[in-house]
Amino acid sequence: MITPRPAATATLLALAALTYSAWTLETFLGTSLPPPHTYVSELAATNQPYSTLFRTADLLAGTLVCAAAATATATLSARRIPRTARAALLLFGAATAVDSRLPLSCTPTTDPACAARETAAQVPWTHSAHTVSSTLALCGILVAMATLTRTARAGRALLALELAATAWTLAAIAALETGHDGWGVGIAQRLQVGVIAIWLGALAVTLLHTREPAERVPATHEPATHEPATRGALRRADARP
């Protein structure tokens, strides 16, 4: 029988939620990138002053999610965190960690020269690899959220919001690639990653405040003992006056 120990998993998820929200520091650091019109990943571009900070935060967040998935596998039953959800969380964490090691070399949304080089495929291979790892991370977290809609607090609402933010982000990226203004791609993507962080925190809180369903133990029936007929007859005879 698996002993329920949600505290370790919940702590790792809560820490992951905090570090995955490191992009909010852009408000205080005074980066030169306008949030409504730039990708979150551009904060970690190698030509940006706080690249190391944001890349380290993503690496730590991904590692923490992987650790949470591993801890859940070791300490929680499949009824608490289904195997599909664990695998999806592991994919999200691993892809996020890899993503941090594949930074953009420039900021295409604010640098026309960078955008032109990207269109002409004259940027480092990390640009394409970054797109792949980001896509894998998104797929992983969406599967995890869908699998755990009944587990995490406000799971259905957060999943619906995440799907809406993802659709908005994809539409905004398509608009940028066709020469439009981007339809607030920065707002859409920040909403997207913000909802993920909130969901990770909500899952952590849920694990701490709900109990593992008790396993049903099949009832055991002792075989009835039948008194020998002769002994019963003797007792009845002794009881007679």
3-state secondary structure 17-73: HHHHCHHHHHHHHCCCCCHHHCCHHHHHCCCCCCHHHHHHHHHHHHHHHHHHHHHHH
Cα Rg of the chain, angstroms: 28
Confidence of residue 151 (pLDDT cuts 50, 70, 90): confident
Give the model's pLDDT for residue 11.
96
Nearest alpha carbon to residue 23 among 38, 8, 13, 9: 38
Residue 140 · residue 89 · CB < 8 Å: yes
Mean pLDDT to the nearest integer, 16-26: 97
Mean pLDDT to the nearest integer, 6-34: 95
Confidence of residue 61 (pLDDT cuts 50, 70, 90): very high
Confidence of residue 186 (pLDDT cuts 50, 70, 90): very high
Buried b (16+ CB within 10 A) or exposed e, 31-52: bebebebbbbbbbbbeebebbe
Q: Mean pLDDT across the chain, nearest whole number?
A: 87
Give the model's pLDDT for residue 78.
80
Residue 219 has pLDDT above 70, yes or no: no
Nearest alpha carbon to residue 190 among 47, 24, 58, 78: 24
- Domain ranges across the chain: 6-215
Give the model's pLDDT for residue 152.
78
Give the model's pLDDT for residue 192.
98
Q: What is the pLDDT of residues 76-118, one digit of tens each?
A: 888 788 999 999 999 999 999 999 999 999 999 999 999 999 9
Give the model's pLDDT for residue 66.
98
Give the model's pLDDT for residue 123.
96
Cα–Cα distance measured from residue 164 to residue 169, given in angstroms and rounded to the nearest whole number: 9
Q: What is the pTM of this model?
A: 0.84
Give the model's pLDDT for residue 139.
98
Residue 227 has pLDDT above 60, yes or no: no
Within 13 A of 158's CA, how many CA atoms are on the CB side? 26
Residue 191 has pLDDT above 60, yes or no: yes
Give the model's pLDDT for residue 176.
87
Confidence of residue 149 (pLDDT cuts 50, 70, 90): confident
Residue 196 · residue 141 · CB < 8 Å: yes
Give the model's pLDDT for residue 234.
41
Residue 214 has pLDDT above 70, yes or no: no
Measured between its terminal Cα atoms, the distance across the chain in Å is 59
Q: What is the pLDDT of residues 152-184, one digit of tens each?
A: 778 899 999 999 999 999 999 999 888 887 789
**Phi, psi at residue 7, to the nearest 5°?**
-60, -45
